[in-house]
Chain A
Amino acid sequence: MITIDHVSQVFQTSGRQSHLALSDISLTIEEGSFVSILGPSGCGKSTLLYIVGGFVNPTQGVATVKGRTITGPGPDRGPVFQEFALFPWKTVLGNVMYGPRQQGVKSAAAEAQARTLIEMVGLKGYENFYPKELSGGMKQRVALARTLAYHPAVLLMDEPFGALDAHTRTRLQNDLLNIWERDRKTVLFVTHSVEEAVFLSDKVVVMTRSPGRIKQVVDIDLSRPRRRAELLLDPRYQKYVVDIERMIDDTSEDELRP
C-alpha cells in the first residue's frame, strides 16, 4: 500500500523564481490496484510518480510504501519511463538480467528467468539484439521486462506508451493488462490519455494544472479481465471517458478565467 500525505513540491526556476508543481496532494493506493494519474501536461503528475519512486524528495509532506517513509529509490518500486532508459551497451538479455544479477541471483538462474520474461513480453528471438536495433514499442517491452525481472511490489509507469504510435500503443496496453492479470501488482500509471486511463485502471486520479492538485478520484467499476472490443462498446466505459474529459475541460477553462 502506498500513501501520499499532504505532499507539495516547489521547484526553483531560473531567475530565482519558484514554481509550485504539486500542491497538498493526499492519496492512498491500495495493494494490487491499478491506479492512473491523469492530467494535462505540466500538472506535476510525473513529479508525483518520481516522489513515490524516491527519485525526487518532496518539499513538504511524506510518501510511504508499506508503512515505511520513502527516502530514496529501491527495488520494491520499479520504474518504466517514457524514454525507455535501457542500457544501450547491453543486449536485450543483458538488460533484463541486470537487476537480478545486481541482487546476487546466479547467472544461469537470472538468464533462465530473463528468457521467460522476454518471451512473455513477445520478444522471443530478440535476446541478442542491442536496444538501437529495436523499434520504440520493442524497447518499451524490454524496459517492462527489465523492471519485472527484479520483482518490484509496485510498478511505476511514467507515460510509458506516450512516445509510441497509436497502433503500437493499443497493442502494448492489451499486453500490459494481460501481464498484470497474472500477478496483479500495484501499478501507478501516469498518462494524459483519458481512454488509456479508463481502459487500464481501477481508479483514475484526475489532476488540475499548475499548481497540480487532485480534482477528483474516479473509481472505474468495470469487470476484469477487460477486452478492448467489448469495452469500447460498453456504455459505462463511454460514460467514464466522457465524464472525465468534461472534468479536464473544466480545469482548462478555470485557467482561462482571470
Chain B
Amino acid sequence: MIAGRALLSRFAPLLACLGLLAIWQAAALILQTDSFPTALEAIRAVPSILGDKESLINILASLRRMAIGFSVAVAVSIPLGLMMGRNRYVASFFNPLLMITYPVPKAALMPIIMLWLGVGDLAKLLVIFLGVSLPVIYHSFQGARAVEEKMLWSGAAMGLSAAQRMIRIVLPAALPEILTGCRTGLVLALITMVTSEMIARQSGAGNILFNALDMGQYETVYAMIIVIGAMGIGLDAAFEKLRSRLVKWSEPGFDIPLSFA
C-alpha cells in the first residue's frame, strides 16, 4: 500500500500529462474541426520539425537569443536588486521605476522597440532582457532586505568590509530568494522570446509557429507548441536541479514535486 502510494506520487506528473493528452485527443475527435488536430496527429508532426534543418536553425537561434537575454538580465538584475535591498537611497530611486514598468506587458513595448532597433536580434534581446529583469530584481531585493542585521554585524566584527559583506554574506544569504526569481525569469524568457518572434517575424521558434498558422498547417502549429512547451519544461527542470543543489542548506525537510526533475 505504501509502495503503491510512493509509486503513484512518483508518476503523478506523468499521469497528469497523459490525462491532458487524452482529453485533447477526445475533444478533437468529438469536435472534428480542421483547425484542431488530435493529440496524436500533433505529436506525429513533431519529428518532421526536429528533422528539418531549417527549423532546427530557427529553434537554435531562438535559444541563443534567450540564453543571451537571460544571462545579461541576471548579471545586471542581481547586483541591482541586492543594492536596493541594502541601501534605502538606491531602493527609493529604483522602486518607482520598477512599479511603473512592472504591470506593462513587455511584448507591448515591442513595436516601439522595433522602431528604434529594427526587427533584428537587438530588439528581441531587449524584450527578453526586460521580461527577465523584473522578477530577478524583485526577488533579489526581497532576499537582500530579509538578511538578518546581526549576521552582517557578525561579519563586520570579523573584519569584512561593506563590499565584502555584500558579496560574501548578503549574496549567499539571499541566494534561495534570488534563484526563485531566476526560475520565474527563465520561464518569462521563453515567453518573451516567442512573443518577440511573433511580432518581429524573421527567424526563430515563434516564426515557425506563426508562419504555419498563416498557411493553415495546424498540425505544425500544435507540434510547435509541444516543442516549445517541452523546451520550457526541460529548461525549468534543469534549472530546478541546479537550484536545489546550490541551496540545499536552506531546503525544508520535505519535498513536494514542484517540477518534473
In this complex, the member of A77, A88, A130, A152 whose beta carbon has the largest number of chain B beta carbons within 10 angstroms is A88
What are the residues of chain B within 8 A of A152 when measuring CB–CB? 157
Q: A75-B159, A102-B158, A150-B158 are in contact. Are A85 and B153 (CB under 8 A)?
A: yes
Q: Counting CB contacts under 8 A, is B250 at the interface? A: yes
Q: How far is the CA of A250 from the CA of B113 in the complex (A)?
A: 73
What are the residues of chain A within 8 A of B250 when measuring CB–CB? 88-89, 132
Q: How far is the CA of A85 from the CA of B153 in the complex (A)?
A: 9
Total interface residues on A, CB under 8 Å, equals: 29
Among the listed B154, B157, B172, which residue makes an inter-chain contact with A89, where contact means beta carbons less than 8 Å apart?
Answer: B172
Count: A-B pairs, CB below 8 Å: 62
Q: Once the chains bind, are B148 and A75 in contact (CB under 8 Å)?
A: no
What are the residues of chain B within 8 A of A72 when measuring CB–CB? 156
Q: Once the chains bind, are B153 and A53 in contact (CB under 8 Å)?
A: yes
Q: Once the chains bind, are A89 and B148 in contact (CB under 8 Å)?
A: no
What are the residues of chain B within 8 A of A74 when measuring CB–CB? 157, 159
Q: Which residue of A lies closest to B246 (CB)?
A: A89
Q: Counting CB contacts under 8 A, is B21 at the interface? A: no
Q: Once the chains bind, are A53 and B157 in contact (CB under 8 Å)?
A: yes
**A148-169 residues at the B interface, CB under 8 angstroms:** 150, 152
Q: Counting CB contacts under 8 A, is A11 at the interface? A: no
Q: Once the chains bind, are A55 and B156 in contact (CB under 8 Å)?
A: yes
Indicate the size class of the contact surface on chain B: 10 to 19
Q: How far is the CA of A55 from the CA of B157 in the complex (A)?
A: 9
Q: How far is the CA of A103 from the CA of B159 in the complex (A)?
A: 8
Q: A130-B249, A132-B249 are in contact. Are A88 and B157 (CB under 8 A)?
A: no
Q: Counting CB contacts under 8 A, is A24 at the interface? A: no
Q: Once the chains bind, are B157 and A77 in contact (CB under 8 Å)?
A: yes
Q: Counting CB contacts under 8 A, is B114 at the interface? A: no
Q: Counting CB contacts under 8 A, is B150 at the interface? A: yes
Produce 1/0 per residue, A63-103, CB < 8 A to B.
00000000011110111010101111110000000110011
Q: How far is the CA of A138 from the CA of B247 in the complex (A)?
A: 22
**Consensus secondary structure, chain A interface:** loop
Produce 1/0 per residue, B74-96, CB < 8 A to A.
00000000000000000000000
What are the residues of chain A within 8 A of B153 when measuring CB–CB? 53, 55, 73, 79, 81, 85
What are the residues of chain A within 8 A of B150 when measuring CB–CB? 79, 81, 83, 85
Q: How far is the CA of A75 from the CA of B175 in the complex (A)?
A: 27
Q: Which residue of B lies closest to A158 (CB)?
A: B150
Q: Once the chains bind, are A98 and B157 in contact (CB under 8 Å)?
A: no
Instruction: Enumerate chain A interface residues (CB-CB to B < 8 A).
Output: 53-55, 72-75, 77-79, 81, 83, 85-90, 98-99, 102-103, 130-132, 146-147, 150, 152
21 A–B contacts from the bound complex (CB under 8 Å) = A53-B153, A73-B157, A75-B157, A77-B157, A78-B157, A85-B148, A85-B151, A85-B153, A86-B151, A87-B151, A87-B172, A87-B173, A88-B250, A89-B175, A99-B158, A102-B160, A103-B158, A103-B159, A131-B249, A132-B249, A150-B158
* 12 further A-B pairs in the complex, CB-CB below 8 A; given A75-B157, A89-B173, A146-B154: A72-B156, A75-B159, A79-B150, A79-B154, A81-B154, A83-B148, A85-B154, A88-B173, A88-B250, A102-B159, A102-B160, A130-B249
